[in-house]
Amino acid sequence: MEEKNVFIIGSNGIPAKYGGFETFVENLTAKKINSKIKYHVACMGKDNNEFEYNNSRCFNINVPNIGPAKAEYYDLVALEKTIKYIKKNKIKNATVYILGTGVGLFIWFYKIRLKKLNAKLYVNPDGCEWKRDKWNFILKKFFKVCEKKMAKHADLLICDSINIEKYIKDEYKKYNPNTTFIAYGSNIEETGENNEELEKWYKEKQIKIGEYYLIVGRFVPENNYETMLKEFMKSKTKKDLVIITNVEKNKFYEKLRMETGFEKDERIKFVGTVYNTQLLTKIRQNAYGYLHGHEVGGTNPSLLEALSTTKLNILLNVSFNKEVAQDGGIYWSKEENNLTNILDKIENLTQDEIKQYETKAKERIKKEYSWEKIVKKYEELFCKIK
């Protein structure tokens, strides 16, 4: 079999520090089985150098700090560099895989050029970026148009959720989009005993093992922080609510503080971010339960990580979350007092009942979402390209 060159654009690059797309690229390259696949990964850097990592060719792009357009500029430069590299090295049957839809407005122009080079354009549409509450009306319109253009021009849309694939097929039926489903991945990790670093973290944050509920996720309205805070505050639990997020004292934080008064509840603890993956895994494992309020998107990475580590997963009842967790989760709605009542009830679960939920959650990960399985599916897909 001839070498398959796959160019990956749209992540911040590898080695991964944080973020879903970055973690995906890290695992895709690190767990590669087929030696005939050569990955070329665009990386956001402080120079324009190239380097090898995970047996992949990584090329840095030094992006000026131009505000909100930075991500789109980065992807467009990466596309230009990719096309030049394909031409210069006379690469046949290349695949360009774009993660996200931010450059959709310009994709027709690149599609024409890629077609001339006999290169395929694959796109991961992510999870309905235009629905996110953090964007204003104009940006929501922009992202919706980008998504539409990607659906129209991509040779293949790789959806990480069955529900996202269904949405793409229904919403853009007139383009008859070519789609496939390959989920995001996760692994069940055993991290051993609690260590000094973990004990120090608990001491600093005044948190006790097994005596807290956990939230991990971006600090944005569509992750339903307001509902979770209000409902938790009404619950009778004596456990803490530990929130690991990139919180800043911004407008959203102030709005939540004004509307919920969470700072008066000593159980609620915003503890900042944790980028040490082993430390975060142990914090997840030691939680009594994980609260998940994500409403927008496909297969959410933080949900998969929770299912593979945390004993009890209490999830917002939306199609994306149910698709992933199935009977490995406990589901809540945004109806008033619903989550409060659930929190009060699960305080009385027996150890056996908790173990049943944990087992079902981990079985879901092992059966459908292991990185080994996901990487194998991608490699089979890339090797089918003619």
Q: What is the pLDDT of residues 253-272, one digit of tens each?
A: 888 999 999 999 999 999 99
Report, as an integer, the average pLDDT of 181-189.
89
**Cα–Cα distance for residue pair 257/88, rounded to 1 Å:** 56
Q: What is the pLDDT of residue 142?
A: 73
Nearest to 119 by CA among 26, 40, 20, 206: 40
User: Which DSSP helix (H) or strand (E) runs through 135?
Assistant: none
- Residue 252 sits at φ, ψ, to 5 deg, of -65, -40
Q: What is the pLDDT of residue 130?
A: 46
Q: Are 168 and 125 in contact (CB under 8 A)?
A: yes
- Between 2-11, 30-39, 243-252, 357-366, the lowest mean confidence (pLDDT) is in 243-252
* 66 or 26, greater pLDDT: 26
The helix/strand/coil state of 208 is coil
Nearest to 98 by CA among 60, 136, 147: 147
* 68 pLDDT higher than 90: no
- What is the DSSP track for 237-287? --SEEEEES---SSHHHHHHHHHH-GGG-TTEEE------HHHHHHHHHT-
**Cα–Cα distance for residue pair 234/230, rounded to 1 Å:** 7
Nearest to 196 by CA among 287, 279, 285, 281: 279
Instruction: Categorise residue 244: left if φ over 0, alpha if ψ from -120 to 50, beta otherwise.
Output: beta
Q: What is the pLDDT of residue 133?
A: 61
* 194 pLDDT higher than 60: yes
Using pLDDT thresholds of 50, 70 and 90, give the confidence band for residue 138: confident
- Residue 4 sits at φ, ψ, to 5 deg, of -105, 120
- List, in sequence order, every residue forming a beta bridge with 36; answer none if it has no partner: none
Report, as an integer, the average pLDDT of 350-365.
96
Percent of the chain with pLDDT over 70: 94
Instruction: Compute the mean pLDDT over every residue in the chain, rounded to the nearest whole number.
Output: 91
Helices (H), 117-218: 137-153, 162-171, 196-205
User: 97-101, 160-164, 294-298: which has the highest mean pLDDT?
Assistant: 97-101
Q: Length of the chain, please?
A: 386
116 CB neighbour count, 10 Å cutoff = 10
Q: What is the pLDDT of residues 80-137, one digit of tens each?
A: 999 999 999 999 989 999 999 888 889 999 999 999 999 999 999 986 554 566 666 6
**Cα–Cα distance for residue pair 219/371, rounded to 1 Å:** 27
- Between 14-23, 41-50, 99-108, the lowest mean confidence (pLDDT) is in 14-23
Using pLDDT thresholds of 50, 70 and 90, give the confidence band for residue 313: very high
Please state the pTM of the whole predicted model: 0.87
Q: Are 27 and 9 in contact (CB under 8 A)?
A: no
Report, as an integer, the average pLDDT of 57-79.
90
